[in-house]
């Protein structure tokens, strides 16, 4: 399995922790880091050439902003991919698991309102997302020739057929 990471956001320590976590499950993880949008397609090509059977697109503003490039390159290489945001699967990615990006923006807006009303930033609690969604795009699965296990489809919050 490969991970596509933004070197501007993801640290070496984070990648090492991720590699240890997947290794404990008997999976080899190849990490491909990029720093610029121009490097994305090449990193995905390199992952496929290195033998990756699937890849995980880690969260970053750069990778989110270029998600269509990633979705198209993954489809062209018939490479299954999972993304941080459920909306990405709705836009043509194979799978997305995490909080909805709209939920994250609402959370930021609520905090901004509190600050604008005079709350001190140091007094505001750290907020974590409370709802995570799994969206599976079976249309994309068909295009790339990948069969999604029925058990996983049954667990999905939304399935695009």
In this structure, the number of other CB atoms found within 10 A of the CB of residue 108 comes to 11
Does residue 20 lie within any of the structural domains? yes
Expressed as residue numbers, the domain containing 48 is 2-100+132-160
Q: Is the Cα dihedral 73, 75, 83, 81 positive or negative?
A: negative
CATH number of the domain within which 144 lies: 3.40.50.2300
| pLDDT tens-digit readout, 91-129 | 999 999 999 999 999 999 999 999 999 999 999 998 889
63 falls in which pLDDT band (50, 70, 90)?
Answer: very high
Does residue 119 lie within any of the structural domains? no
> DSSP character for 27?
-
Q: What's the mean per-residue pLDDT of the chain?
A: 96
* pTM of the predicted structure, to 2 decimals: 0.90
51 falls in which pLDDT band (50, 70, 90)?
Answer: very high
Query: What percent of the chain shows pLDDT beyond 70?
Result: 100
Whether residue 85 is predicted with pLDDT greater than 90 in this model: the reply is yes
């Amino acid at each position: 399995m490969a991970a596509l990471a933004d070197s501007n956001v993801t640290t070496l320590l984070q990648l090492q922790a991720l590699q240890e976590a997947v290794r404990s499950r008997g999976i080899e993880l190849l990490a491909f880091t990029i720093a610029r949008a121009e490097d994305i397609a090449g990193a995905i090509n390199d992952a496929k050439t290195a033998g990756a059977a699937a890849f995980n697109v880690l969260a970053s503003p750069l990778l989110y902003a270029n998600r269509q490039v990633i979705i198209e390159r993954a489809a062209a290489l018939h490479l299954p991919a999972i993304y941080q945001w459920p909306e990405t699967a709705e836009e043509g990615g194979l799978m997305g698991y995490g909080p909805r990006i709209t939920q994250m923006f609402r959370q930021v807006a609520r905090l901004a309102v509190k600050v604008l009303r005079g709350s001190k930033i140091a007094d505001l609690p750290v907020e974590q997302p409370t709802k995570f969604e799994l969206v599976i795009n079976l249309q994309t699965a068909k295009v790339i020739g990948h069969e999604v296990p029925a058990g996983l489809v049954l667990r999905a919050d939304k399935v695009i057929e």
